[in-house]
Structure 1
Amino acid sequence: MHLLLRRPRRFFCNRPTPTIPHLCVLNRVYPPVSGATGTLLSELTPALVRRGWRVTVLTGPAPDAPRTEVTEDGVHVERVRALPFTRERTWQRGLAYASLFPAFVARALQIPAPDVIVTKTDPPMLKVLGPLLERLTGARTVHWAQDLYPEVAAGVDVIGTDGLLARTMRRLSTWALRNHHHVVAVGRCMQERLVQERGLSESKVSVIPNWPPSEVAPIPHDQNPFRDQHDLHDRFVVMYSGNMGLAHPFDAVLDAAARLATEQPEVLFLFVGEGPRKDELQAQVDQRSLSNVRFLPFQPREKLAQSLSAADLHLVTMESELEGLVVPSKLYGALGVGRPALFLGPPGSEAARLVESHNCGTVLPSPSGLRLAEAIEEWHADPNRWAEASERAHRAVSSARAEAIEQFDRLFRTVLET
């Protein structure tokens, strides 16, 4: 096996004449399959094509989508066969994840040899394929870290913190990170963890924040059909939009809803999305008879601007133990439609730093239902403060996508030349 990994890359791949650099990205989801990581890729990859890259995305299966296609934007999409993905049981999800690894390797060796390979973090531990594919193809490798595993899994009690599985995964993860040519973190808090806890040099880790989806733009309430459709015009809407997952605490949110149900009944808590905790949240709302809480399903991408703009405030929540391990992507959509954000999470997180540096919301590191209710009341009572913060929120991320595209293009070309 050792000799096999050291064979020349031309033995395995059909490498074209290197007139156009070839970038290959591995990620479980890509449109039409929904998911935050796939949405980011679908906006970055066409921009890189326009900047002179040949781009191939290796991704999981998609119903009714061809296994191989070239999109209208010029992105080559290769969908591999894998077990169907489900969130119902952890072991089934793990098997679905595991089935992608050999499928990605096999397809990576069938396409024209890439010059740069990018591994993302869906599925978890996908980074381990980077060093392997470097040996097999000769490509330079970059890991784009949306989160850090196995610490995230341990932080939400999916695996034990100090068990054999966690220790083994951490060693393997650290080995993989150190053997990529470069690592991209989505926040300064994550960069700090990679340097201080994983031993990576600062020069090897770049910070490129995420950005709002391109469809997202502010829509005034009186021009928003979503507020008409859902009878929201007389309500002050506090929205949680996105995955209701294990990394997101909600106790303070429901406690605040209970307090405001009688004190300010015009305040409506609107949960938009799905996730493993949705059934639990709905059950708690029913048990507490919270008439000021509603649930809606995920909204299609073409209605995302309407949905997000329907809010007056956005809730973004994160467990304190996950500081530096994840950066909630839902914050960028909230700011993209020009709405202040209430961040319930650690003050050192990139999310907290963004909200505070642009003065476009409130950071509550250890929120109680009382403190959250008071913060909502303060925003509701001061329309001028709300309007000014809304403008700052939109400005905070208005150029984030263009800046990220420039940074990624420059980084990939630098990696290619080293």
Structure 2
Amino acid sequence: MKILTYGLNYAPELTGIGKYSSELCEWLAGRGHTVEVVTAHPYYPTWVLAEGYDNRSYQHEIRNQVKVRRCPLFLPRIVPTGKRGRIMSHASFAISSIPKLMASVRQLRPDILLAVTPSFLIAPAALAVSRMFGTPSWLHIQDFELDAAFELGMLEGNHLRRAAMSVESAILRQFDRVSTISPRMMDRLHAKGAPPKSTVKFRNWVDTDAISPADRRTRFREQLGLSDRHIVALYAGSIAAKQGIESLAEAAAELQAKVPEVVFVFCGGGASLKHLVKITAPLCNVRFLDLQPDERMRELLATADIHLIPQRAEVSDLMLPSKLAPILASGRPAVAMAYPGTQLATEIEGAGIAVPPSDRHALSEAISKLARDPGLRMRMGEQARALACARWRKETILNEFEARLIEVAGRGRKDD
């Protein structure tokens, strides 16, 4: 099967959508499929162009049997925290990628075109090109970015929202298949008008062999000047507005004197990193690490006694944190900011503690409770590992997705 993947993010980006898109494409290539990718030059989550790439031009490379076509995009000089910079960046890629997308379809003649959002701005081009060449189309939604943009105030206005949602709904109904990553997000997809017969739940995943429970006495503790007596509360991933990361800073300030053995470690980058560093500067119980490569991920996750999953209430069930599956696989408990009944709260049931996103005191109390009870941490960690193996195993999820791709591609060939 020949597969063309189209999306904004791809390896060597270490977090989020780029990580999952590249793992998917490399896995499919390893299964013997021909896989090509049209994507942007790598920049996420720091919004700084990765070393070795030239954002003034198109570039091609081969990464683990996958041909990758890189397209330029606008990168603001200052990491964008509002709407203007992000929209301009996403729009610039949507425009610059169209020639490469068309060239790839002409040359490869793919059996299926798989578009990955965000950014939803690429969806119209993906749909138009697939129709032009008679290629079956699949749209995979990692988060509902339009809903999130309005909920977070990055986009405003009732008329604009109605217009945007109307266009989104019309586009969703035109794809041969539309997938997303959780049951609640599937419900939203149907509410937006995507026909149930054309929708597929396609979870993110974790390699449960590569990420597994390990000794907490890691080199990271030594690097950070921490001993066995310290209880590490770890946040690892993108540091951006939708995470509500400032709540963790408030919890660190509250626990600094009450539970001094708890140390908050932030590992990542993103639009809110400088702000986070600034507001935690007076605190002695906060440490920072740069983003870590895949080969050190198991060790990083093992460093934690408690994992932290912040999330703003406004984006509940509009996305599911990509860090969740590795956290569960590491066999450590989590404290998640999620209301009861939301997808995130449901996913960590028995494997952590969910607290209301707006309740700073409840967040601090949950961290304190786990810090003071090693038996509880162990029991919840064991349940986390069991959930990862039951629900999030990479081979199971990707085998099922491959079968769905073959089914859709086969129908396209019959229609021809």
Residues 370, 376 of structure 2: 8 Å contact kept: yes
| Corresponding position of 1:361 | 352
* Change over 3 Å in CA distance of 1:319–1:360 after alignment to 2: same
One-letter amino acid matched to 2:19: T
Q: 1:294 aligns with which of 287, 297, 300?
A: 287
Q: Tell whether 2:378 aligns with 1:384.
A: no
| Corresponding position of 2:197 | 203
Q: 2:52 aligns with which of 53, 56, 64?
A: 64
Quote how far apart the aligned CAs of 1:49 are. Answer: 2.1
Give percent identity, aligned residues only: 25
Q: d(CA) in 1 for partners of 2:176 and 2:78?
A: 33
| Corresponding position of 1:39 | 19
* Change over 3 Å in CA distance of 1:113–1:96 after alignment to 2: same
Residues 40, 213 of structure 1: 8 Å contact kept: no
Quote how far apart the aligned CAs of 1:252 are. Answer: 4.0
Q: Which runs of 5+ in 2 are unaligned?
A: 43-50, 412-416
Q: d(CA) in 2 for partners of 1:86 and 1:142?
A: 34
Q: Secondary structure at the match of 2:11?
A: coil
Q: Tell whether 2:276 aligns with 1:281.
A: yes
| Corresponding position of 1:230 | 224
One-letter amino acid matched to 1:369: R
Give deviations 1:110-135, integer Å, cap 9, x for gaps.
Answer: 22221111111133432222321112
One-letter amino acid matched to 1:139: T
* Change over 3 Å in CA distance of 1:204–1:61 after alignment to 2: same
Q: Secondary structure at the match of 2:336?
A: strand
Q: 1:349 aligns with which of 342, 346, 350?
A: 342
* Change over 3 Å in CA distance of 1:322–1:93 after alignment to 2: closer
Quote how far apart the aligned CAs of 1:343 are. Answer: 0.9
Residues 14, 291 of structure 2: 8 Å contact kept: no
Give deviations 1:362-397, integer Å, cap 9, x for gaps.
Answer: 111345232222212221222122112212212222
Q: Secondary structure at the match of 1:326?
A: coil
| Corresponding position of 2:156 | 160
One-letter amino acid matched to 1:209: R
Quote how far apart the aligned CAs of 1:157 are. Answer: 1.1
Q: Tell whether 2:60 aligns with 1:74.
A: no
| Corresponding position of 2:327 | 334
Greater shift, 100-109 or 248-257, is seen at 248-257
* Change over 3 Å in CA distance of 1:367–1:158 after alignment to 2: closer
Quote how far apart the aligned CAs of 1:350 are. Answer: 2.5
* Change over 3 Å in CA distance of 1:35–1:127 after alignment to 2: farther
Q: CA RMSD in A?
A: 2.2
Q: d(CA) in 1 for partners of 2:99 and 2:9?
A: 18
Q: Which runs of 5+ in 1 are unaligned?
A: 1-20
* Deviation >6 Å, runs of 4+: none
Q: Tell whether 2:242 aligns with 1:256.
A: no
One-letter amino acid matched to 1:69: E
Q: 1:406 aligns with which of 383, 399, 405?
A: 399
* Change over 3 Å in CA distance of 1:348–1:119 after alignment to 2: farther
Q: Tell whether 2:230 aligns with 1:241.
A: no
Q: d(CA) in 2 for partners of 1:252 and 1:108?
A: 41
Q: d(CA) in 1 for partners of 2:131 and 2:119?
A: 21
* Change over 3 Å in CA distance of 1:86–1:336 after alignment to 2: farther
Give deviations 1:325-355, integer Å, cap 9, x for gaps.
Answer: 1111122221122111111023333322110
Q: Secondary structure at the match of 1:273?
A: strand
Give deviations 1:231-274, integer Å, cap 9, x for gaps.
Answer: 22231011111112111224543333233211210011111112
Greater shift, 393-402 or 178-187, is seen at 393-402
* Change over 3 Å in CA distance of 1:284–1:80 after alignment to 2: closer
Greater shift, 102-111 or 266-275, is seen at 102-111
| Corresponding position of 2:206 | 212
Give deviations 1:251-305, integer Å, cap 9, x for gaps.
Answer: 543333233211210011111112222222233223xx32212222222333222
Residues 130, 136 of structure 2: 8 Å contact kept: yes
| Count of aligned residue pairs for this structure pair | 390
TM-score by length of 2: 0.87
